[in-house]
Chain A
């Protein structure tokens, strides 16, 4: 001990002020300041990411919620005229991300993992826990080494159509998903399993185009039921269709406007080779079998003044429009004698089990948009407004066909971001929804907190 101490003291005194190298007392004559690293491989990276483990992050997203319609605002939105059938709640997932109770809610906890798999692939996996269930939000692999600006992705992912569809809820500027995205696609947007191929053009202005082949399960555009058993020997119109059943294409263009301004505009299109739906009435199944397509345009403009402190004075304008068309063949099959409750032998029974009714073909045309603006009030604070409207064109085909009223929502938001890892949000929304030809209005207040733990990946434009 005694021997080591003076030696250590001496070493400490002699050590270079910048960086004491614990081993190797001899200095490189070419490196008097001792700044040279021992040989680093080319392409080296100074990083604290743990060697081979995936980068992990957890996002906790909770809210205090209040509305003036006994907590039923989300149900009212789902009943919006023209969108209620096939809007996603007839089958499968009963409540998605949307539904909140009045009071305190844990909306979701996102668990994200990302890593480079090998020299050829990167992978990303995200689970979402909504308080009851764990759901797989995304799990996909992207290529690293394709030449010529090409990139392929496969797995379950959020489609790259439009602008907001690809974003996770924690990236939104408002609490909730735009109505057009929720009602034309689903309460998870367009989230599918499939493959994507994109190409970034080698131009001086940003141009990226892509195509996707997707399994086709999204309620609003590619709902799939498959073949169902015949009723008393009568085949139903629903047929099995193998995937992929949904094909999309998109293009994004961003002119170079210098660093203070940024603009990106996009267009997208999609075609579903199978769109199926069924509604169980008291005595018959109403079956829809057909195809669907959509097109949309999107744009985002951002202004960030030079020397802006903490986003103060920054401005962002964002909007998207979509138009959806569904070509439907309808054919109803009775599974019980009609009128309901009647004995089948009764001569008053108009319809027998297995009878077919309402054979007709029609198409449905619906659209919607949202437009939102955000302004940086002060460092770390921003405020914004949004208008949502769906059903400007709102024609559905059942019966004699019907034109429905539109539905709207107006929102205002105030965001406070203490650091890039946390956010507090106050949002007020007023809904004005058409339900059965009446206007249903409601007010909603959200007080939300979002916290991001761990290594959180960079966000793209």
Chain B
């Protein structure tokens, strides 16, 4: 009986280092980060595809399956996934992943956020008083997050700590190097009109001015009056218009037509199984369009 109990305890508490860590990432970008840092020592599942607006998802059974089996959750955080992630974690009944535990990782908690301290007033739209959560758009912040993630992975799998740290540093170094090149290429870019405040991080990193937003307030679709106002302000100036695949093209196309600007339908995520190269290619796709005018 005692040996049976003992072996049961050993079985349940067996060190996980032998097997790869199971990681649940909320978005493809976070999956990329986990895959880049964890290498072959992690198995990554992505909970939400990149072609959806991550603000407005709902907790689904498939997400709970992914979270139930995970050793680590890698989220963008900053309340970006507030609409579904808490319910999905709750439904997954996996205490390892609760906020505050070692299995809960928010990239946004590792870096300073833009626009932190916005008044918590819904009259201003769907605001995040803790700061703009779309930090995945800043390659340098992603580098910092990668290094923080390496420490978390090292805590879960000490045997591969050196690998995780080296991978994260390589990622951060590559981002720093790429940013130099990107900044030089868009040094003369006149600026961009965004749909939502998500690409703010990228524009700031590249040193390209944001000329305005299609949304009159975060989370509110463009109105005719707001579009007229934008056109009035920007008439005669050069620029580009960006919107995401999941955002209506009607407003952006109208503004672009009236201003004579190019309009681009963009993605903000790597493919579901994306790598560091895919992330570089994603940022490249924005840089290439910014320098086209």
* Residues on A facing B (Cβ under 8 Å): 17-19, 31, 33-37, 40-48, 122, 142, 144-147, 149-151, 198-200, 202-206, 208, 252, 254, 256, 259, 262, 264, 304, 306-310, 379-380, 419-421, 457-461
Besides the known contacts A46-B79, A145-B95, A208-B61, 13 further A-B residue pairs in the complex with CB atoms under 8 A apart: A19-B112, A36-B144, A37-B111, A42-B151, A42-B155, A44-B100, A46-B78, A203-B65, A262-B62, A380-B221, A419-B126, A459-B83, A461-B60
- Whether B102 lies near A459 (C-beta < 8 A) is no
In the complex, what distance in Å separates the CA atom of A256 from the CA atom of B221? 32
Instruction: Considering the complex, give the chain A residue whose CB is closest to the CB of B69.
Output: A202
Name the B residues within 8 Å of A31 (CB-CB): 144
Name the A residues within 8 Å of B56 (CB-CB): 420
B128 at the interface (CB under 8 A from A): yes
Q: Given A45-B77, A46-B109, A458–B48 Cβ distance below 8 Å?
A: no
- Whether A206 lies near B94 (C-beta < 8 A) is no
Instruction: Considering the complex, give the chain A residue whose CB is closest to the CB of B140.
Output: A33
Q: How far is the CB of A389 from chain B (nearest CB, A)?
A: 28
B280 at the interface (CB under 8 A from A): no
B204 at the interface (CB under 8 A from A): yes
Q: How far is the CB of B12 from chain A (nearest CB, A)?
A: 8
- Whether A461 lies near B130 (C-beta < 8 A) is no
Q: How far is the CB of B27 from chain A (nearest CB, A)?
A: 12
B282 at the interface (CB under 8 A from A): no
- Chain A facing B: main interface SS: loop
- Whether B87 lies near A458 (C-beta < 8 A) is yes
B131 at the interface (CB under 8 A from A): yes
In the complex, what distance in Å separates the CA atom of A457 from the CA atom of B79? 12
Give residues of chain B (249-284) contacting chain A, Cβ–Cβ below 8 Å.
Answer: none
B68 at the interface (CB under 8 A from A): yes
- Whether B79 lies near A48 (C-beta < 8 A) is yes
- Per a CB cutoff under 8 Å, which of A17, A149, A306 touches B68? A149
- Whether B93 lies near A149 (C-beta < 8 A) is yes
In the complex, what distance in Å separates the CA atom of A18 from the CA atom of B206? 12
Q: How far is the CB of A157 from chain B (nearest CB, A)?
A: 14
A142, A145, A264, most chain B CB atoms within 10 A: A145
In the complex, what distance in Å separates the CA atom of A310 from the CA atom of B82? 17
Name the B residues within 8 Å of A421 (CB-CB): 122
Which of B1-9, B160-168, B184-192, B240-248 binds A?
Answer: B240-248
Name the B residues within 8 Å of A147 (CB-CB): 95
- Whether B109 lies near A37 (C-beta < 8 A) is yes
- Whether A256 lies near B91 (C-beta < 8 A) is no
- Whether A309 lies near B61 (C-beta < 8 A) is no
In the complex, what distance in Å separates the CA atom of A447 from the CA atom of B168? 55
In the complex, what distance in Å separates the CA atom of A205 from the CA atom of B95? 20
Name the A residues within 8 Å of B108 (CB-CB): 46
In the complex, what distance in Å separates the CA atom of A419 from the CA atom of B217? 11
Name the A residues within 8 Å of B174 (CB-CB): none
- Whether A200 lies near B92 (C-beta < 8 A) is yes
In the complex, what distance in Å separates the CA atom of A34 from the CA atom of B144? 10
- Whether A419 lies near B105 (C-beta < 8 A) is no
Name the A residues within 8 Å of B112 (CB-CB): 18-19, 34-35, 37
In the complex, what distance in Å separates the CA atom of A449 from the CA atom of B126? 20
Q: List 22 A-B contacts (CB under 8 A).
A: A40-B109, A40-B110, A40-B148, A42-B155, A43-B100, A43-B101, A43-B102, A46-B78, A47-B79, A47-B130, A122-B90, A144-B98, A145-B95, A204-B65, A205-B65, A206-B64, A208-B61, A208-B91, A380-B221, A458-B86, A459-B59, A461-B61
- Whether A459 lies near B61 (C-beta < 8 A) is no
Instruction: Considering the complex, give the chain A residue whose CB is closest to the CB of B120.
Output: A48
User: Interface size of B by Cβ–Cβ distance < 8 Å?
Assistant: 69
Q: How far is the CB of A3 from chain B (nearest CB, A)?
A: 28
Instruction: Considering the complex, give the chain B residue whose CB is closest to the CB of A50.
Output: B120
In the complex, what distance in Å separates the CA atom of A137 from the CA atom of B88? 23
B39 at the interface (CB under 8 A from A): no
Name the A residues within 8 Å of B78 (CB-CB): 46-47
- Whether A419 lies near B62 (C-beta < 8 A) is no
Name the A residues within 8 Å of B219 (CB-CB): 419-420
B133 at the interface (CB under 8 A from A): yes
B49 at the interface (CB under 8 A from A): yes
Give residues of chain B (138-179) contacting chain A, Cβ–Cβ below 8 Å.
Answer: 140-141, 143-144, 148, 151-152, 155
B113 at the interface (CB under 8 A from A): yes
B106 at the interface (CB under 8 A from A): yes
In the complex, what distance in Å separates the CA atom of A19 from the CA atom of B116? 10
In the complex, what distance in Å separates the CA atom of A144 from the CA atom of B99? 11
In the complex, what distance in Å separates the CA atom of A419 from the CA atom of B108? 25
B38 at the interface (CB under 8 A from A): no
B69, B93, B144, B148, most chain A CB atoms within 10 A: B93
Name the B residues within 8 Å of A46 (CB-CB): 77-79, 106, 108-109, 113, 130-131, 133
Name the B residues within 8 Å of A206 (CB-CB): 61-62, 64-65
B31 at the interface (CB under 8 A from A): no
In the complex, what distance in Å separates the CA atom of A42 from the CA atom of B103? 9
Name the B residues within 8 Å of A33 (CB-CB): 140
- Whether B131 lies near A254 (C-beta < 8 A) is no
B52, B99, B109, most chain A CB atoms within 10 A: B109
Name the B residues within 8 Å of A262 (CB-CB): 60-62
In the complex, what distance in Å separates the CA atom of A354 from the CA atom of B245? 77
Name the B residues within 8 Å of A149 (CB-CB): 68, 93-94
Name the A residues within 8 Å of B151 (CB-CB): 42
Name the A residues within 8 Å of B101 (CB-CB): 43
Q: Given A308-B246, A379-B248, A256–B62 Cβ distance below 8 Å?
A: yes
- Whether B82 lies near A458 (C-beta < 8 A) is yes
Q: How far is the CB of B200 from chain A (nearest CB, A)?
A: 12
Name the A residues within 8 Å of B68 (CB-CB): 149, 200, 202
In the complex, what distance in Å separates the CA atom of A205 from the CA atom of B61? 8
B85 at the interface (CB under 8 A from A): yes
- Whether B128 lies near A37 (C-beta < 8 A) is no
Name the B residues within 8 Å of A202 (CB-CB): 68-69
B212 at the interface (CB under 8 A from A): no
In the complex, what distance in Å separates the CA atom of A37 from the CA atom of B82? 22
Q: Given A43-B101, A47-B79, A419-B220, A254–B248 Cβ distance below 8 Å?
A: no
Q: How far is the CB of B256 from chain A (nearest CB, A)?
A: 17
In the complex, what distance in Å separates the CA atom of A379 from the CA atom of B215? 14
